[in-house]
Amino acid sequence: FLHKLVLGIETSCDDTAAAVVDETGNVLGEAIHSQTEVHLKTGGIIPPVAQQLHREHIQRIVQEALSVSRISPSELSAIATTIKPGLALSLGVGLSFSLELINQLKKPFIPIHHMEAHALTIRLTNKVEFPFLVLLISGGHCLLALVRGVSDFLLLGKSLDIAPGDMLDKVARRLSLIRHPECSTMSGGKAIEHLAKQGNRFHFDLKPPMQRAKNCDFSFSGLQHVIDKTIMQKEKEEGIEKGQILSSAADIAAAVQHTTACHLAKRTHRAILFCKQRNLLSQSNAVLVVSGGVASNLHIRKALEIVTNATQCTLLCPPPRLCTDNGIMIAWNGIERLRAGLGILHNVEGIRYEPK
C-alpha cells in the first residue's frame, strides 16, 4: 500500500527549505538552511544576497530532504513549491529549481501560496476541522483569516503597514540590542521578549493603535514611530550616544511587547465576535490558530489566551519549528491539495519564471 508522497520546496524569504511528507502527515525527511545570521549582520534582508544564498544551497537542501526520507524521487506523487507571496528574487530560485526537477522526473507540480501553507500547518499536528480562525504574525506577515477549506479563505484583517515582527526587529535595532551581552544572537522579537522580563511596562505609557477602528485590521508603524521618539528622548535624558544601550531599554521592551500583545488580542477578539455573530464559527468549540515567528512570544500568547478563554475558543499553536518558514508546511499543503483535488498542474511546459 503506497501513500501519497509530496516533496515541498520553500524559498520565499530567507530560508531555503525542503521536506518530504506523506498523506498521513508523517515527515519522512526535511532540511533547512537559514540565512538569518547573514541578514542580522546587514541589518535586514538584501534581496540579491538572499537570492544568491538560495542558489548556493537549494540543491543540497532538496537532496538532503530526499535522502533522509529514504525514498527514490520516482516514488513522489508531486512536487509542491511556494510561488507567492514573497521576495520575487527568492521565489524565483525555488520555482526555477522545481520546474527543472519536474521536467526531469516527469511529476505533477503543485503551486503553493505561502500563507495558505502557514494556515493549514496545524492540520498536520492536530485534528482541526474547517472552519477555524488563523492569526499569522511574523516579520513579514500579519493577517487574520477564517479558513473555510483548503483553498477557501475569508480575509478578516491585515496590517495596513508593517508586520509586528518587523516592528519588533526595528525597535530592537534602535535599542542596539545586538550589542547587549544577553541578546546578541537573538532575533529582534526574541531579544525584546527576553529583556521585557527584566523591565517594568508601566514606566512608559504606550497606547494600542486603532482603538476606534471598526474592523479587524492592524497597524504597527505608528507605534514604532512613537517608540522611536521615546527612545530619542531617553537618550537625551540619559546623555548617551546613538548605539549605546539605554538603562531603560528593558522598560521600553516590556511596554512595546505589552502594547503589541494588547493590539493583537483586541483585533482578534473583534474577529471572533464577528464570526460568531454571523454563525461563521462554532459557538461552543471554535478554534483560533496562531502561527508565525511572533507567535512564539509567551506574553503575546497569554494575551490571546485571555481572549479565547473569554469567548469559549480553543487556542492552538503549531510547534515552534513549524511556526516559522519550513519545507514541511509546503509539502503538507501539497498533500491537502492532492486530497482535495485542487490546483495540480500536470503540464508545466508553459510555466516560466521571469523576475520583474
Residues found near Zn ion in the complex (CB under 5 A): 325
CA angle, residues 269, 266, 12, in degrees to nearest 5: 90
Site for ligand KG4 in 234-293 (CB under 6 A): 292-293
CA distance 108 to 106: 7
Q: How far is the CB of 333 from ligand KG4 (least distance, A)?
A: 16
Q: H-helix or E-strand containing 258?
A: helix 249-277
Q: List the one residue from 62, 93, 168, 338 that touches ligand KG4 (CB under 6 A).
A: 168
CA distance 255 to 204: 6
Q: Which three cell numbers stand for residue 182?
A: 544577553
The letter for the amino acid at 320 is P
Q: How far is the CB of 36 from Zn ion (least distance, A)?
A: 13
Which of Zn ion, ligand KG4, none does 248 bind, CB closer than 5 to 8 A by kind? none
Q: With respect to ligand KG4, which residue has the nearer C-beta, 264 or 331?
A: 264
Is the Cβ–Cβ distance between 308 and 265 less than 8 Å? no
Phi first, then psi: what are they for 159, rounded to 5°? -75, 135
- Per rule CB under 6 A, is residue 116 in the interface with ligand KG4? no
- Per rule CB under 6 A, is residue 139 in the interface with ligand KG4? yes
Which of Zn ion, ligand KG4, none does 9 bind, CB closer than 5 to 8 A by kind? none
- Per rule CB under 6 A, is residue 111 in the interface with ligand KG4? no
Which of ligand KG4, Zn ion, none does 296 bind, CB closer than 5 to 8 A by kind? ligand KG4
Is the Cβ–Cβ distance between 167 and 189 less than 8 Å? no
Site for ligand KG4 in 5-64 (CB under 6 A): 13
CA distance 327 to 331: 6
What single string gives the DSSP state of each residue in 189-225?
Answer: HHHHHHHHTTS-GGGS-PPPTTTT-SSS-B--HHHHH
For the sheet with 78-84, list strands across it.
27-34, 15-22, 5-10, 78-84, 109-113
How many residues at the interface with ligand KG4, by CB under 6 A?
21
Q: With respect to Zn ion, which residue has the nearer C-beta, 77 or 90?
A: 90
Among the candidate windows 41-49, 160-168, 229-237, 277-285, which touches ligand KG4 by CB under 6 A?
Answer: 160-168
Q: How far is the CB of 245 from Zn ion (least distance, A)?
A: 30
Among the candidate windows 184-192, 199-207, 241-249, 302-310, which touches ligand KG4 by CB under 6 A?
Answer: 184-192
Q: With respect to Zn ion, which residue has the nearer C-beta, 259 or 296?
A: 296
Q: How far is the CB of 292 from ligand KG4 (least distance, A)?
A: 5
Q: Which three cell numbers stand for residue 60?
A: 543540497
- Per rule CB under 6 A, is residue 296 in the interface with ligand KG4? yes
| Bridge partner list, 109 | 79, 345
The most distant pair of C-alpha atoms in the chain lies apart, rounded to whole Å, by 71
CA distance 232 to 242: 9
**Rg of the chain taking only CA atoms, in angstroms:** 21
Q: List the one residue from 29, 108, 131, 189 that touches ligand KG4 (CB under 6 A).
A: 189
Q: With respect to Zn ion, which residue has the nearer C-beta, 19 or 227?
A: 19
Q: List the one residue from 94, 108, 165, 199 that touches ligand KG4 (CB under 6 A).
A: 165
Strands 15-22 and 27-34: antiparallel
- Per rule CB under 6 A, is residue 217 in the interface with ligand KG4? no
Site for ligand KG4 in 319-338 (CB under 6 A): 324-325
Which of Zn ion, ligand KG4, none does 256 bind, CB closer than 5 to 8 A by kind? none
Catalog residues that contact ligand KG4 under the rule CB under 6 A: 13, 138-141, 165-166, 168-169, 187-190, 193, 292-294, 296-297, 324-325
